[in-house]
Amino acid sequence: MSRISEVFRNKKHKALIAYITAGYPDVEATVQAALTLAESGCDIIELGIPFSDPMADGLTIQHSSHLALLNGVTTETCFEIAGRIRNRSDVPLVFMTYLNPVMSNGVESFCADCAATAVDGLIIPDLPPGELPELDSSAKKHGVDTIYFVAPNSSGERIRLVARRSSGFIYMVSVIGVTGVRDGFSTGLGDVISKVRQVTDIPLCIGFGVAAPQQAAEAVALADGVIIGSRIIQLMEKEGPPYRELGEFIKQVRTSIDGAGA
């Protein structure tokens, strides 16, 4: 059983997943933020590999990615960061990246490096499921989960394809659009989640727009976990390590979703 699957083994426990941009605001801060998140109640850390054209990301994450690139952060740097986090924590790590960095490194090499650095999963927003079967096979060979997206407007065919190709969990996009803080979810989200439940028992985690403890509780009332990104980056902009305010926010979210799960 993978580290990610272990998170979802207890069906009553709702997963809290946090996104941070690798190398933002610098390497040391990224490592400290990840450790703070894990210690404060996050079950999985999603590390974003900075990319020049992050098409799925809103302004907050775009800005953090841009600054990381200006600081000279590369894909190799991101593997180094993952390794440093792994040396100090067993928290599952997932790379959120785009297809270009994977192809530049080579699919087999990238997946092998993930395994060597104990990165547990991959999220690639600009890769439709089934378009690069060698990635799925290489990731599976190296014990790396592949996580694909379902949106509120996904067709039945798309849902079935995602269910076949995904492992670890399925990323449920809460709204049509990019990442960023929002007030609520798409009105059709519950319906599409029901459709996904009919074809797979893979855990479902809701992301895009979740920014407050109550929103997180509403998400886990529908799904098996929740993903928070832009709000975390905003809190990192306000303070530096050891990120006490960030830690308190995560504890509040943890309490909220534990209450919802109960």
What does the pLDDT read at residue 8?
A: 97
What does the pLDDT read at residue 176?
A: 60
Residue 132 burial (CB count, 10 A): 17
Q: What is the pTM of this model?
A: 0.94
Q: CA geometry: angle at 192 spanning 190 and 198, to 5°?
A: 105
Question: What is the full per-residue pLDDT of the chain (262 aa) written as tens digits?
Answer: 799 999 999 999 999 999 999 999 999 999 999 999 999 999 999 999 999 887 767 889 999 999 999 999 999 999 999 999 999 999 999 999 999 999 999 999 999 999 999 999 999 999 999 999 999 999 999 999 999 999 988 999 999 999 999 999 999 998 665 454 545 576 788 999 999 999 999 999 999 989 999 999 999 999 999 999 999 999 999 999 999 999 999 999 999 999 986 6
Catalytic sites, residue numbers? 46, 57
Which stretches of the chain are assigned E, i.e. beta strand? Answer: 15-21, 44-48, 93-96, 121-123, 145-147, 149-150, 170-173, 204-207, 225-228
User: CB–CB of 249/39 below 8 Å?
Assistant: no
What does the pLDDT read at residue 54?
A: 76
Domain 3-261: state its class: alpha beta
Q: How many CA atoms lie within 13 A of 77 on its CB side?
A: 19
What does the pLDDT read at residue 179?
A: 52
Question: What SS3 state is found at 83?
Answer: helix
**Structure-token pair, residue 185:** 């979810």
Burial class (CB in 10 A: 0-12, 13-18, 19+), 194: exposed
What does the pLDDT read at residue 260?
A: 87
Domain ranges of the chain: 3-261
